[in-house]
Amino acid sequence: MSSSPTFTAAIEKIVERTPETRSFFLRVANGRKLSFVPGQFLSFLLPIGGQTLTRAYTIASLPEEEECFEICLNQVDGGPGSSYLFSLQEGAVLCFSGPWGSFVLDQLLDTEYIFIADRVGVVPFRPMIARLLTASGHHTARLLYAAPQAGDLLYAAEWQRWEGQCAHFSFQPLTDQCEPEKYSIEKVLLPYIEQHFVKEARQPSRQFYICGIGRPVLLLRDLLRGAGYERQAVKYEKW
């Protein structure tokens, strides 16, 4: 990574989105402005156990939302970074560098954009899809969003509202109504992608963006690339 300014920001508000997932709304100190592109992340420097651990969190808000910006994360069992953040109260101060990352929308094409999200991996797609829906052009966007249960789908009301308002956006929730420990990308996402984008209706011009947790993200990537979609047309971010 090249050098980037380090910022400090205070936690202005904490919102519990599900019992395990929280949004933190952060206000950058000294009136400094954070410029970023939808899809980028920040590297937080967390003072834990006498060390500084670095953890990446994607910006969930839009660049236009000037007052505060949002990160959204879930508490990972035994995870030091997420547990530390979950222990903080409003008013606490955080340090971070960034923005970083190239998992962003390139120049918009007149084509179909397919966003494939696994659980909290939907975060980068919130600002990306918002940007896409307000941009001029002849593109469409589809969000395929998988989680164990309907109550785990983050920003669900917002996706449904956007779908009602924008004829060129559709939202496909994919849930298994299962316990979190029984959920897997292989069970919920892979068969759907195989059926709808590999076996049927292959359109080479489609652009795919995949974001989720762990190695199964690579299975989705390989499934689509193996089906003949261009390497550059299948972008992914694995957390």
Ligand X SMILES: Cc1cc2nc3c(=O)[nH]c(=O)nc-3n(C[C@H](O)[C@H](O)[C@H](O)COP(=O)(O)OP(=O)(O)OC[C@H]3O[C@@H](n4cnc5c(N)ncnc54)[C@H](O)[C@@H]3O)c2cc1C
Antiparallel, parallel or unpaired: β 140-147 and 112-118:
parallel
42 beta partners: 57
Position of minimal CB gap to ligand X: 79
Which 167-206 residues touch ligand X, going by CB under 6 A?
none
Please report which helix (H) or strand (E) contains residue 22, including its range. strand 21-28
Asked if residue 25 lies in contact with residue 15, where contact means CB atoms within 8 angstroms, the answer is yes
User: How far apart (Å, rounded) are the C-alpha atoms in residues 237 and 56?
Assistant: 12
Measured CA to CA, the distance from residue 23 to residue 57 in angstroms comes to 11
Report if residue 14 touches ligand X, rule: CB under 6 A: no
The stretch among 11-19, 25-33, 56-64, 217-225 that binds ligand X (CB under 6 A) is: 56-64
Site string for ligand X, 115-154 (x = CB under 6 A): -----x--x-------------------------------
Task: Choose, by CB under 6 A, the member of 23, 24, 25, 58 that binds ligand X.
Answer: 58
Indicate which single residue of 80, 194, 219, 227 sits in contact with ligand X (rule: CB under 6 A).
80
Q: What residues from 200 to 229 belong to the interface with ligand X (CB under 6 A)?
A: 213-214
User: Is residue 43 near ligand X by the rule CB under 6 A?
Assistant: no
DSSP 79-111: -HHHHHHHT--TT-EEEEEEEE-S-S--S--SS
Helices and strands, counts by H and E, the chain: 6, 11
Q: According to CB under 6 A, which one of 10, 56, 109, 219 is a site residue for ligand X?
A: 56
Measured from the CB atom, the residue of 58 and 140 that comes closer to ligand X is 58
Helix (H, G, I), strand (E, B) or coil at 179: coil
Q: Closer CB to ligand X, residue 61 or residue 74?
A: 74
Q: Which of 7, 24, 25, 41 binds ligand X (CB under 6 A)?
A: 41
- Report the greatest alpha carbon distance in the chain: 54
Binding interface with ligand X (CB under 6 A): 41, 55-58, 71-74, 76, 79-83, 101, 120, 123, 213-214, 237, 239
